[in-house]
Amino acid sequence: MALNASRDDLAAGAIFVAFGSFFALEAMKYEFGTPFRMGPGFMPILLGGILVALGIAVAAKGFGKPETGSGPAWPWRGIVLVLGTILFFAATIRGLGFVPVVLTTALVTALSSRRNSWLAALVIALGLTMLCYLIFVVGLGMIVPLFGPWLSF
């Protein structure tokens, strides 16, 4: 692109502006109060405004900076698989129980690295499931069903 600006700075600025405006707009719904007795909305509106301003400033400073190349490639496979398994873990830990969830999480996470073959991932997953079972369930007495209610027939 012929944009004479640091894309990193623009992106970072945009994230800050997005967060700042979210917090400030959402806080409009709460009581603002007075400086003497600040309401729940006072600080978030103030800080949200500051964050928007800082975000704009970050982006503005990015203009005129030479583009330093596009950086390393996005690790899409890692992002999707790692974050996906964390969401999967949260969604199913209660229903499926410890063993199936931990096993699946470990297997899929291991596969997010291109360097792991299926066999290696399976070995890693089995080993880690055992390890986590020993540490958290046996060692620390974590209360969690090994096989959850979704799996009882």
Partner 1 sequence: MDLVSSLALGFSVALDPVNILYCFIGVLLGTLVGVLPGIGPTATIAMLLPITFTLGPATALIMLAGIYYGAQYGGSTTAILINLPGESSSAVTAIDGYQMARQGRAGQALATAAIGSFFAGSVATLLLAFFAPPLARAALNFGAPEYFSLIVLGLLVSIALAHGSILKALAMIVLGLLLGMVGQDIYTGTPRFTFGVRELFGGLNFVAVAVGVFGIAEILRNLENETEREVGVKKVTNLWLTREDFGRIWAPILRGTGLGSVLGILPGGGHILSSFASYSAEKRLSKNPQEFGKGAIEGVAGPESANNAAAQTSFIPLMTLGIPAHPVMALMVGAFILQGITPGPNVINEQPALFWGIIASMWIGNLLLIILNLPLIGLWVKMLSIPYRVLFPAIVLFACIGTYSINQNIYDVYAIAFFAMVGYLLIRFGCEPAPLLLGFVLGPLLEEHLRRAMIISRGDPMIFVTRPISATLLLLALAAVLVAVLPAIRRKRQEVFVEDD
CA angle 80, 126, 96 (to 5 degrees): 65
Query: Is residue 66 near partner 1 by the rule CB under 8 A?
Result: no
Residues 80-99 that bind partner 1 (CB under 8 A): 82-83, 85-87, 89-91, 93-94
How far is it, in rounded angstroms, from Cα 48 to Cα 58?
15
Minimum separation from the CB atom of position 63 to partner 1 (A):
13
> Which residues, 6 or more positions from 58, have their beta carbon under 8 angstroms from its beta carbon?
9, 12, 13, 16
Residues 2-41 that bind partner 1 (CB under 8 A): 8-9, 11-12, 15-16, 19-20, 23, 26-27, 30-31, 34-40
Residues 108-147 that bind partner 1 (CB under 8 A): 109-110, 112-116, 120, 124-125, 128, 131-132, 136, 140-144
As given in the structure block, the two tokens for residue 49 are: 């405004």
